[in-house]
Amino acid sequence: MLSAIASPLPRLDFSTDVPSTSSHEIDGVARGLGVYHGGRCIVGEGIGIGAPLALVGDRAVFPLDTKTVQSGNRITRRFYMNGLSLKFIGRVRADLPYKWIRSKLAPLYLKSSGFRPIFNYLMAARTVIGLKSHYRRTKSLGFVDVTYRTGHDRVRVEVDANRLGANKFLIANELDGHLFEHVIVDESTQITKIPPWLEISGNSAKLVAPSLGFGFRLNHVSRCRLFVGREILGGRLNWAGFSYMPDHDLSTFSYEVVFEND
In a domain, 125, yes or no: no
Is residue 133 domain-resident? no
State the residue range of the domain holding 192. Answer: 12-85+140-261
Is 126 a member of any domain?
no
Helix/strand/coil for 103 = helix
Task: Give the pLDDT confidence of 122-150 residue by residue, as tens digits.
Answer: 454 445 444 566 788 999 999 999 999 99
CATH of the domain at 24: 2.70.98
Query: For residue range 53-110, what is the model confidence (pLDDT) as tens digits?
Result: 999 987 889 999 999 999 999 999 999 999 998 754 445 444 444 454 455 444 544 4
Stated pTM of the model: 0.84
In the chain, how many domains are there? 1
108 falls within a domain: no
Q: Is 160 inside a domain boundary?
A: yes
Buried b (16+ CB within 10 A) or exposed e, 160-182: bbeebebeebbbbbbbbbbbbbb
Whether residue 145 lies inside any domain: the answer is yes
Q: Is residue 112 part of a domain?
A: no
- Whether 92 is in a domain gets the answer no
Question: What is residue 105's three-state secondary structure?
Answer: helix
| Average pLDDT of the chain, as a whole number | 84
